[in-house]
Amino acid sequence: MRPAATLLCLLLSLTSCSWTPEARKRNAFERGQELLKAGRYAEAAINFRKALQIDASFGDAYSGLAAADEKLGDLTNARVHLEAAERLLPANHEIKVRLAGLLLASYLSDPRRPQQVYSTLARLAGDLLRLDPRSFDGLRIQGQLALADKRIDDAISLFERAHRVRPFEDEVVVALVRALAIAGRHEDSERLARETIQRRPKFGPAYDALYLLFLDTKRPADAERVFVEKAANNPGQPSYTLQLANHYLRHGQRERMAATLESLLTGPKPPDDAPLLVGSFYATIGDLEQAKRVFELGTGHTPAVEQACQKRTAQILALQNRLDEARASIEAVLARNPGDTEAKTLSAAFRTGSRKPEEQAAALEELRELARSQPSDALVRSQLGRALFAQGLWNEALNEFQAITQRNQNHIPAWLFLAEIHLQKREYERTVQAANEALARSPNHAAARLLRAFGLMGLDRSRAARLELESLIETHPKLAAARLQLGILYVKEKKFQQADAIFRALHEPGAADSRPLEGLVLSQYAQGQLGDAVRLLTAEVSRSPANETARALLAVTALRAGDPGLALEHLRFLIERNPRSAEWRLREGFAHQRKGDLESAIDSYRQAAALAPRAPQPAAFLANALEAANRPSEAIAQYRAALALQPGNPLLLNNLAHLLAETGGNLEEALELARRAVREFPDHPALMDTLGWVSLKKGMPDTALATFHALCRKYPNEPLYRYHLGAALVAKGDSARARAELLEALNRRPAGPTEGSIKKLLASLQ
């Protein structure tokens, strides 16, 4: 029995050892390392976290977790975890170098140049040089900081010292070439670049540095030869051929650009993904027809390339407003591969652009579900953000795109969407900033330049906007959006002849793209020629009776021209063609409302709600009509129904708050609703006005006064805000100033109901 007992004791002792905290920590860490090497990064991260749950001061686990974060593209958490590892393991050279690499990339790509990051980099470089006065990494980091500070001589000295330690290393040799060029030592810069290329003909950044030198010194032919040589020396790198094509684009040589791109498609050994690469190039520069043509060449390639090209074709069709074709294309991909997340995401995204509100709502919920199941998938979150934006949920959309850029600052589409959202919110300075972030990463990006032009127009920097648009049109002559925007800028500047010339050149009668036609209508509207606009659209509809876009535009223009009867005539045609369309019922209701026929409007809105029970718009329009018909309890119920479907909509929150305050409802609830509306859409004057009015009703005149004073300073010609300021002054007992504000409000020609309220309040002051 003794041997058995001994074996049992030994087994128990071994088992107990393996379950000590130290052993479990080591096991989790080592398993994480194995998974990291095997490329199973998410599982590796789980194991490193397990180790940290056992020992929160385990520096190696933080280091491993940071490595997994980097592989997963989560650079924000990678930085946090490397900083923790560096604090816990202050003598670890490798961790300092890795952390410095992350911080340096972030610092150099951030135009704000954050001081905290700079200080950390300076400390890390100092630590490395204290450990080794000849530290290559310490010298390299100090050199980059000197270059960023424009201390060019110091940068050259530091890079030369690092170059002597490890000659022709990637980052240092390129930075030294650039620093020598900035210092005006062009011959030294060229000599070093050429020597690097001779030694390392596969090292692309050396060619790029020499190319920039030749551009800076006005030697475009030499610059072209550099990229020709780069592509020739690296036949297996199609991106270098694309660089050459981009050079030709920037220098207005579109035929040579096209020939260079064609060589990728038809050369002796074209890469299998050539249609994807070349099509994406054309899409980026706004040549959608060529992009579509090339993507269609992907048929017959490997299944992965063929499906990727089909998905890109679908996106092109969507950009061309050919949504039915886009959806058919993406559904074909899903038929072959139902689990394709990108295709499922695009399918849902296309459906958010449907004219059927109920389909929009269902697609949005599908995107939310995809985002919940795959929170780190940038495409899913990007499409969700776009759909939220389209639904008017701008702050939620901002959150999605900000989350993407926090994870990956180089995600250009997210920066573009941020710029677009800020543009819609009239936050023009932020529009320009977000566009600049995209351009810092892709200097010739057409959409980013276009958005920057939009932002500049919003800031009333018309000359800068015009220069941007003219430059963009010069390099992208087929980019209709840039020409359209230049036309709109001309309208804004009252240069109607130039504007109309652009719109007429782009307009093709019966075409699916209605933007040029809308531009012509905008120009005529700005000139007060609404009758001409109606005649233009009537002629367009006569030429193309089935053109639903032209009919819808005619209906809208007829309403602006004060002819709701004409609008209803064309809306009825659209309803007959699309009896299940909630959109046309909504527009019919709006036309009835403009005509003063509230009962018919309410009936149309109810029909729209029945057609789209999951969409908030019908309930919102119905609430507005019921409010106008003096049926407040029904209106309140419909506003609540709309908010149940779209809880964060600031306009719905605002309207319900105002109605509750005006009808003796719960003022506590009204105040909270108004505050939520302003949080969703800060600085919107109508929302601020409601917040001030509810505050006044709730017996908070000081808060109301501050709000109305701010509004009157910013919008001095708006009589409603002056009326509300006068009412707040009455509440404070300041009759003299109240009278002055109320008289000023009357001088500003208020609308009928407001005028009556002002006169009534003035009479009470007699």
- Which residue type does 719 have? P
Q: Residue 264 has what pLDDT? A: 93
Phi, psi of 542 (to 5 degrees): -65, -40
In order of their start, the domains of the chain are 510-577 (1.25.40)
Helix, strand, coil percentages in the chain from 3-state DSSP, rounded to 5: 80, 0, 20
Q: Span 159-168, mean pLDDT?
A: 96
Angle between helices 582-595 and 616-628 (to 10 degrees): 10
Where does the pLDDT of residue 640 fall: very low under 50, low under 70, confident under 90, or very high at 90 and above? Answer: very high
Where does the pLDDT of residue 735 fall: very low under 50, low under 70, confident under 90, or very high at 90 and above? Answer: very high
Helix (H) or strand (E) holding 272: none
Rounded Cα distance, 182 and 295, in Å:
41
- CA 690 to chain CA mean position, Å: 30
Q: Residue 545 has what pLDDT? A: 85
3-state secondary structure of 55: coil
Closest residue by Cα to residue 554 from 572, 566, 542: 566
Q: Residue 8 has what pLDDT? A: 45
Q: Residue 15 has what pLDDT? A: 46
Q: Residue 111 has what pLDDT? A: 62
Q: Residue 664 has what pLDDT? A: 92
Rounded Cα distance, 431 and 409, in Å:
16
Rounded Cα distance, 610 and 358, in Å:
10
643 in Cβ contact with 679 (< 8 Å): no
Closest residue by Cα to residue 370 from 359, 356, 385: 385
Q: Measured between alpha carbons, how far is residue 549 from residues 504, 544, 554, 588 in Å? A: 17, 10, 9, 15
| Residue 357: exposure state from Cβ atoms within 10 A (0-12, 13-18, ≥19) | buried
- Per-residue pLDDT of 608-632, as tens digits, reads 999 888 888 999 999 999 999 999 9
Question: What pTM, to 2 d.p., does this model score?
Answer: 0.56
Other beta carbons less than 10 A from residue 265's beta carbon:
15
Rounded Cα distance, 54 and 44, in Å:
16
- The contacts of residue 37 (CB under 8 Å, 6+ apart) are none
728 in Cβ contact with 704 (< 8 Å): yes
Assigned token pair, 476: 């992208």
Closest residue by Cα to residue 82 from 96, 73, 304: 96
Assigned token pair, 636: 């309140």
3-state secondary structure of 58: coil
- The contacts of residue 392 (CB under 8 Å, 6+ apart) are 646, 649, 651
572 in Cβ contact with 588 (< 8 Å): yes
14, pLDDT greater than 50: no
- Per-residue pLDDT of 500-540, as tens digits, reads 898 888 887 766 677 888 888 888 888 888 888 888 888 88
Q: Residue 714 has what pLDDT? A: 92
| Sign, CA torsion 432/433/437/439 | positive
Assigned token pair, 564: 């709701």
Rounded Cα distance, 105 and 117, in Å:
11
Query: How many helices (H) and strands (E) would you count in the chain?
Result: 44, 0
Assigned token pair, 103: 């911080």
Rounded Cα distance, 693 and 686, in Å:
10
| Residue 711: exposure state from Cβ atoms within 10 A (0-12, 13-18, ≥19) | buried
- Which residue type does 691 have? L
477, pLDDT greater than 90: no
Q: Residue 355 has what pLDDT? A: 64
Rounded Cα distance, 435 and 277, in Å:
24
Q: Residue 552 has what pLDDT? A: 85
- Per-residue pLDDT of 359-417, as tens digits, reads 777 888 888 888 888 787 777 888 888 888 877 778 888 888 998 888 777 788 899 99
Q: Tokens 């500003």 correspond to what residue?
A: 748
482, pLDDT greater than 50: yes
Percent of the chain with pLDDT over 70: 96
- Taking CB atoms within 8 Å and a gap of at least 24, the contacts of 722-729 are 722/748, 723/750, 723/754, 723/757, 723/758, 723/761, 724/689, 724/692, 724/693, 724/696, 726/758, 726/761, 727/696, 727/761, 728/692, 728/696, 728/701, 728/704, 729/705
Phi, psi of 235 (to 5 degrees): -65, -20
Q: What is the 3-state secondary structure (H, E, C) of 392-428?
A: CCHHHHHHHHHHHHHHCCCCHHHHHHHHHHHHHCCCH
Q: Residue 286 has what pLDDT? A: 75
- Taking CB atoms within 8 Å and a gap of at least 24, the contacts of 745-752 are 745/719, 745/720, 746/719, 748/717, 748/718, 748/719, 748/722, 749/719, 750/719, 750/720, 750/723, 751/719, 751/720
Rounded Cα distance, 445 and 735, in Å:
58
Closest residue by Cα to residue 569 from 602, 592, 593: 592
28, pLDDT greater than 70: yes
Average pLDDT of the chain, as a whole number: 88
- Taking CB atoms within 8 Å and a gap of at least 24, the contacts of 408-411 are 408/73, 408/75, 408/378, 409/75, 409/106, 409/109, 409/110, 409/437, 409/441, 410/109, 410/441, 411/378, 411/382
- The contacts of residue 539 (CB under 8 Å, 6+ apart) are none
Q: Tokens 């207005």 correspond to what residue?
A: 252
Q: Residue 157 has what pLDDT? A: 96
Q: Residue 512 has what pLDDT? A: 65
- Which residue type does 315 have? Q
Assigned token pair, 418: 């941020």
Other beta carbons less than 10 A from residue 461's beta carbon:
16
Q: Classify the phi-psi angles of 306: left when phi > 0, otherwise alpha if psi is within -120 to 50, otherwise beta.
A: alpha
Rounded Cα distance, 283 and 292, in Å:
8
Other beta carbons less than 10 A from residue 545's beta carbon:
11
Rounded Cα distance, 349 and 342, in Å:
10
- Taking CB atoms within 8 Å and a gap of at least 24, the contacts of 169-172 are 169/136, 169/140, 170/203, 170/205, 171/140, 171/144, 172/136, 172/140, 172/143
Percent of the chain with pLDDT over 90: 51
146 in Cβ contact with 178 (< 8 Å): no
Q: What is the dihedral of CA 743, 749, 753, 754, to 10 degrees?
A: -40
- Per-residue pLDDT of 165-215, as tens digits, reads 999 998 999 999 999 999 999 999 999 999 999 999 999 999 999 999 999
707, pLDDT greater than 50: yes
- Per-residue pLDDT of 288-323, as tens digits, reads 889 999 999 988 888 899 999 999 998 888 877 787
